[in-house]
Amino acid sequence: MMEDCFILDFNPFDSMNIAKLSFTIQDAHDDDDDDDDDLTVVAEKGKVACRDYPHSRHLCRRFPFDKTPHEKHCYLCYCYVCDSVAPCEFWTIHCHASEHVEDWKSQRELMRLKIRRQIGF
């Protein structure tokens, strides 16, 4: 029998270290046993940087870089190389760019130098 009211042995308004909680993708999709849920997010407050603000494609939270085709992008994604709104002119190539690959870092720096020269810096 489920109780409508619970007496908590902790203050729910105290901060909590959520890093100590365990969660797997399987837990999220496991509909067979809803009685064992340890954590349910019912609301969120504030913005998430890589979801709610402009971000490089490889940092996108809507389309995770390692799990979705790189060509996909949200309306806040921008090209890491060009620093322009995605898709850029060279998106079929630049969509694969990330800050973790030295070649892409070099191409980004070359693009910045090119733009500076064009505007006279």
Residue 17 lies in a domain: no
Q: What's the rounded Cα separation, in Å, for the pair 3 and 45?
A: 28
Residue 59 lies in a domain: yes
- Is the separation of the CB atoms in 65 and 58 below 8 Å? yes
- Which pLDDT belongs to residue 65? 94
Residue 74 lies in a domain: yes
Residues with pLDDT less than 50, the chain: none
Q: What is the tally of structural domains in the chain?
A: 1
Predicted structure pTM score: 0.60
Q: What's the rounded Cα separation, in Å, for the pair 85 and 2?
A: 51
- Which pLDDT belongs to residue 81? 95
- Which pLDDT belongs to residue 101? 94
6 contacts: CB under 8 Å, gap ≥ 6? none
For residue 97, give its domain range. 44-119
Q: What's the rounded Cα separation, in Å, for the pair 13 and 33?
A: 28
Residue 76 lies in a domain: yes
